[in-house]
């Protein structure tokens, strides 16, 4: 499957009694494929991955596997321990996923050599393209691409691509310069246009669960080199992204999906519930930007 375009970092819908709702997840995937998505990152940050049990994460892979062949399926295998990450990756491979992705292991302040070994061990365990999910704001890990061990995994076939969820777009460009065969994806939706200009082949985004109608025209304008239109469209999309961030990104995305007819439930604690005022602002946004 092609590694470019818009990948949806899918939410993990929950039922009223806080159980994973695979049917609702399937509806999100089906809807966004129809809107032009080329891939799905399943059970990532937007999917509340570290608040899912091992079994729940695998069940989310199973729900997405029904779309094998219709879209690129990427499984998030992020874990602190290598064995757990490998177990996720092996389940994804059995289910027919096209690729896997992981953050660097965190919390214990691993060395760059240990991080490189982590990715190399995952790659040895499965026959799937492996992506580096670079998310320093959340993991606390700053990847040093000048370190020999990191340069090696970025150039020897261990890493097939990068999701750069970082404000440092220049670092992504440097990775592409180091290895032009890497598939590069931006991770901050509000930086979509900037990341494309710095060499990204596409984007893997949280808000794309419902905002693709705003972002597809940006991609089209960029392809036509109509940067004036692309800038205006990105500013419009960023009005929405900014509001989602202010209200709480994951709860707001789930609320928007529910208002659009796919009951995504609420985010798991300790993520906060939306206030009545926040819901009102989100309703106004949905009416203004998505009512057509």
Residues 37-63: tens digit of each pLDDT = 999 999 999 999 999 999 999 999 999
Is 173 buried (19+), middle (13-18) or exposed (0-12) by CB count in 10 A? middle
* The one catalytic residue among 163, 188, 192, 254: 163
Best CATH choice for the domain 5-216 from the list 3.90.1150.10, 3.20.20.70, 3.40.50.80, 1.10.10.1800: 3.20.20.70
* The one catalytic residue among 133, 188, 192, 255: 133
Give the C-alpha separation, 119 to 124, whole Å. 9
Give the C-alpha separation, 160 to 158, whole Å. 7
Residues 195-225: tens digit of each pLDDT = 999 999 999 999 999 999 999 999 999 999 9
Provide the pLDDT confidence category of residue 269 given band limits of 50, 70 and 90. Answer: very high
Q: How many CA atoms lie within 13 A of 77 on its CB side?
A: 32
**Does residue 2 register a pLDDT over 90?**
no
Give the C-alpha separation, 118 to 140, whole Å. 16
Say what the pTM is: 0.97
- Is 163 among the catalytic positions? yes
Q: 10 Å Cβ neighbour count for 58?
A: 18
Structure tokens at 48: 């509340």
Residues 72-122: tens digit of each pLDDT = 999 999 999 999 999 999 999 999 999 999 999 999 999 999 999 999 999
Give CA angle at 278 (273, 282), nearest 5°: 115
Percent of the chain with pLDDT over 70: 99
Give the C-alpha separation, 158 to 137, whole Å. 24
Structure tokens at 44: 């990532």
pLDDT of residue 252: 98
pLDDT of residue 264: 98
Q: How many CA atoms lie within 13 A of 47 on its CB side?
A: 32
| H helix intervals, the chain | 22-34, 54-64, 82-94, 112-125, 136-139, 148-155, 169-178, 192-197, 208-223, 227-247, 249-259, 276-290
pLDDT of residue 209: 98
Please report how the helices 112-125 and 82-94 are oriented relative to each other, as an axis angle in degrees rounded to 10.
Answer: 30
Mean pLDDT of 159-180: 96
Across 281-290, b (16+ Cβ under 10 Å) vs e yields ebeebbeebe
Q: Are 46 and 11 in contact (CB under 8 A)?
A: yes
96, containing H or E segment: none
**Does residue 1 register a pLDDT over 80?**
no
* Alpha carbon distances (Å) from 123 to 92, 130, 196: 13, 7, 27
Residues 135-145: tens digit of each pLDDT = 999 999 999 99
């Amino acid at each position: 499957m092609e590694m470019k375009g818009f990948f949806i970092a899918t939410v993990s819908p929950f039922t009223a009694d806080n159980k994973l709702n695979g049917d609702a997840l399937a509806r999100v995937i089906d809807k966004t494929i129809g809107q032009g998505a080329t891939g799905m990152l399943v059970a990532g940050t937007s999917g509340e991955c570290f608040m899912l049990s091992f079994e729940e994460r695998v069940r989310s892979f199973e729900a997405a596997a029904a779309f094998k062949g219709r879209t690129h399926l990427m499984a998030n295998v992020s874990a602190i321990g290598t064995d757990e990450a490998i177990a996720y990756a092996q389940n994804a491979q059995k289910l027919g996923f096209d690729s896997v992705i992981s953050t660097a292991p965190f919390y214990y302040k691993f060395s760059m050599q240990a991080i490189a070994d982590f990715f190399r061990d995952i790659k040895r365990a499965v026959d799937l393209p492996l992506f580096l999910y670079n998310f320093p704001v959340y993991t606390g890990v700053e990847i040093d691409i000048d370190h020999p061990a990191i340069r090696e995994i970025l150039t020897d076939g261990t890493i097939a691509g990068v999701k750069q969820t970082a404000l440092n777009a220049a670092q992504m460009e440097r990775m592409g310069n180091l290895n032009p065969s890497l598939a590069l994806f931006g991770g901050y939706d509000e930086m979509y246009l900037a990341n494309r200009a710095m060499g990204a082949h596409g984007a893997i985004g949280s808000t794309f669960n419902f905002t693709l109608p705003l972002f597809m025209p940006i991609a089209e304008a960029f392809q036509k080199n109509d940067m004036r239109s692309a800038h205006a469209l990105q500013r419009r999309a960023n009005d929405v992204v900014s509001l989602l961030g202010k209200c709480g990104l994951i709860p707001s995305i789930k609320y928007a999906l529910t208002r659009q007819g796919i009951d995504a439930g609420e985010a798991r604690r300790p993520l906060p519930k939306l206030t009545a005022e926040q819901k009102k602002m989100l309703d106004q946004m949905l009416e203004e930007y998505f009512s057509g």
